Amino acid sequence: MHYSIDNPYPSKHTVDMNRMNTARRAQVIRCLIEGCSINSTVRMTGAAKHTVLKLLVELGEACADFLNETMVNLHCERIQVDEIWQFVGCKQKQVTLEKIERDGICGDVWTWTAIDADTKLIPCWMIGQRDPGAARDFMLDLAGRLAGRVQLTSDGLKFYRQAVKAAFGQDVDYAQLVKIYGEIDTEGQRRYSPAKCIGCEIKTVVGDPDPDHISTSYIERHNLTVRMSNRRFTRLTNGFSKKVENHAAQIAIFMVVYNFSRKHMTLGTTPAVKAGIAGHIWSIEEIVGLLEKREQAENGVAA
């Protein structure tokens, strides 16, 4: 969940963020976590674009730090994991050395995510490539946040096997749910539609997972929520992130909102309340308060 950035949005032409009160900041964040783009947020709120981006980056960093400190010693029993794809700057096939030198990280970016099947809590997430190193780092992070043995389910991605072994050893009940897909008939379907799943194969890897709970349904549904709530993940638009720092900040804010502020329909409350991490449903103003506490600390003002 860690990322560090130098704020790329100082400008004498923008409103100082300290002049935006809590309600004004909350208005901007509500737009960003309800599927609005940066430009549409600017139009709806009247805030300057650089001000919106500056708030995004700084609150995102505060949210990432908060989650990193809060999501520890978690009493989860059934965890599902998956990765969701998006790109930053341009599609992977258009990445050039010149573009990397000019813009930094660009091309494919994967968000690795874990979800607790019982409370729908997101205990950890990570941005990286879809490779063995990222899988290992993600699993080590997840294992370090759990209080006891869990049942773990992933899809059939081969990198998970060694990653789970490195992070959990034998202290896990782990199975892979391998989906079998049919052929796609036309070029249009191949480009815009996922292949039809025609079956699933369960592969027990470690321990003795309960067959009735070998599933990736909850994490796949969460991937849909991510795409619906974040314009940066909407396919076939120009709303994709232009900087990886902005991408990471948006995800960090969304994860706090999802865990602490957004009431889950089947739970009747938030995942954080259900998991016993929070005592009430947070308002967006309280989430903005994470940044304001940091600003007060930096300015030497008692909270």
Length of the chain: 303
pLDDT tens digits for 78-102?
999 999 999 999 999 999 888 888 8
Inter-axis angle of helices 38-45 and 49-70, nearest 10: 110
In percent, the amount of the chain with pLDDT more than 90 equals 78
For 22-76, how does the pLDDT look when each residue is reduced to its tens digit (9 = 90+)? Answer: 999 999 999 999 999 999 999 999 999 999 999 999 999 999 999 999 999 999 9
- Number of CB atoms found within 10 A of residue 229's CB: 19
Distance, C-alpha 194 to centroid of its chain? 22
For the segment 13-22, the average pLDDT, to the nearest whole number, is 63
pLDDT exceeds 70 at position 295:
yes
Q: Residue 70 corresponds to which tokens in the numbers above?
A: 């809060």
| pLDDT for the residue 194 | 66
The tokens for 39 are 């430009």
Percent of the chain with pLDDT over 70: 89
Domain map of the chain by residue range? 1-70+245-303
Rg of the chain on CA atoms, in Å: 20
The distance of Cα 115 from the centroid of its chain, to the nearest Å, equals 11
Among left, alpha and beta (phi > 0; psi -120 to 50; other), residue 80 is beta
